[in-house]
Amino acid sequence: MIDDKAYQYICNLVYEYSRISLGDNKKELVAARLGKRLRAYNFQNYEEYCNLLSSPEGKEELVHLVDAISTNHTQFFREIKHFEFLRTIALPTWCSRLEKDNHNMNIWSAASSSGEEPYSLAIELSEFFSLKNGWSWQIEATDISTKILERALTGVYAADRVHEISPDVLRRYFQKGTKQWEGYFRVKQELRERIRFTNLNLLQASYPFTTPFHIIFCRNVMIYFDKPTQEELIDKLFHLTLPGGYLMIGHSESLTGIRHSFKPLRPAIYQRP
């Protein structure tokens, strides 16, 4: 079991690097998730692991630490109300605004995890723009976990991960695996190439984006941050959202009590005025 001193050191390190606030009630969770890291080095206790983290070689291990700590629960079309709003309100509104301007849609999945969210977005955009000539779109997908991004890049999912997708949509956008890949589905290349996956810490000093976004999905991330960090993040997202653009946060999250300049539209849906 991890002792208080080692746990506090790890909590402070994780917060400093990622702003994830673990709190006193996550000790068992942290110990369970870091068990593999101790076994990888054949360490007998967490003191040895903390010594590694504090050494010159610890910077590389810090990435593995955050990978292990990060929660990556997701699914296709999770929190469906957001996708319904995207389909019926956000995309039509932007299309009417951009009709006489450039025909390019820029969307960011800010906590893309294993890829289900950005691929769900890509399916929605592909369906919406299929009958609209001259339009282009792309999705930036970022996550702090390098390990989970590697999985997302493959676009490969077991059958139980795609079972809620309609057979029609599944045929159009996924390849069914055969032989050793039986029981798996892979997102088709024409959809995969619309998404750029990038490792990114949401609280880093600057982002590698040159243009702001029409729509940002940043869902189920703020629940791991303290209030000052939430305000800092929301301010960053505000300045990366085009005027009239939309921000989607998780349904278990809220901007109530946080200083921000977004206009609330619906539960977990905001707009930059």
What was the pLDDT predicted at 237? 96
Residues shown for the chain? 273
What was the pLDDT predicted at 195? 97
Between vectors from CA 146 to CA 118 and to CA 33, what angle results, nearest 5°? 110
Q: Which residues of the chain are modeled with pLDDT < 70? A: 71-72, 100-102
The domains of the chain, with CATH numbers, are 4-69 (1.10.155.10), 80-271 (3.40.50.150)
Residue 143 known to be catalytic: yes
- How far, in Å, CA of 116 to CA of 123, rounded? 11
pTM: predicted TM-score of the whole model, two decimal places: 0.86
For 270, the enclosing helix (H) or strand (E) is: strand 269-271
Strand 184-187's sheet: what is its strand order? 156-158, 184-187, 174-176
Which residue is listed with tokens 């301010």? 235
- Residue type at 1 in one-letter notation: M
Between vectors from CA 100 to CA 97 and to CA 105, what angle results, nearest 5°? 55
> What is the residue-wise DSSP string for 74-133?
--TT-SHHHHHHIIIIIHHHHHHHHTTS--EEEEEETT-TTTHHHHHHHHHHHHHHTT-T
231, 233, 235, 241: CA torsion to nearest 10: -140
- How far, in Å, CA of 166 to CA of 160, rounded? 13
Express each pLDDT in 55-110 by its tens digit: 988 888 888 888 888 766 789 999 999 999 999 999 999 988 877 666 889 999 99
Q: Which of 33, 151, 161, 186 is flagged as catalytic?
A: 33
What was the pLDDT predicted at 72? 65
Q: Which residues contact 101 (CB under 8 A, 6 or more apart)?
A: none
- How far, in Å, CA of 170 to CA of 234, rounded? 35
What was the pLDDT predicted at 273? 95
Q: Which of 19, 37, 78, 143 is flagged as catalytic?
A: 143
- Mean pLDDT, rounded, of the chain: 91
- How far, in Å, CA of 212 to CA of 4, rounded? 43
